[in-house]
Amino acid sequence: MIWLGILGGLYAAWCVLVYAMQDRLLFPRWVPGHPAMESPPAGVERVWVTGEDGSRVEGWFLPAPGTAPGRPGPAVIFAHGNAELIDDNLGLAEQYHALGFSVLLPEYRGYGRSQGTPSQTTITADFEMFHAWVVARPEVDLAGLVYHG
């Protein structure tokens, strides 16, 4: 009976610990990885959206070769994985770019050079702003919009 009480107490302590650390577990900004670049590489346009709380969130846009306001082309909104940065996914974005797609790499709030604190609500709001930004681009064909993530 004593052992069951000890195991029950340890389990309860574990549950409290996981609950208290849930944001750090869901949004592991602390995971070491590649350091963020100072600025995007040549040919990549830096995009900023601003959340309701004033947090600025970065994105990178690679316009497809040959597209223009009178000649729109397909585009991809590329949402990278958790504990990654847009800097880590430029190679994958360039694969779409080589196929003739414009690519938007939105960052998550609180990651990389972006301000704020990530949450499901803030990430959703940021992606809605990035979506509105890319669909307003005259060189993007809305019929060819792809979501990757």
Task: State pTM to two decimals.
Answer: 0.80
Per-residue pLDDT tens for 42-84?
889 999 999 989 999 999 999 998 888 889 999 999 998 887 8
Dist. CA 4–CA 114, nearest whole Å:
47
Residue % of the chain over a pLDDT of 90: 46
- At a CB cut-off of 8 Å and minimum separation 6, what does 33 contact? 83, 84, 85, 88
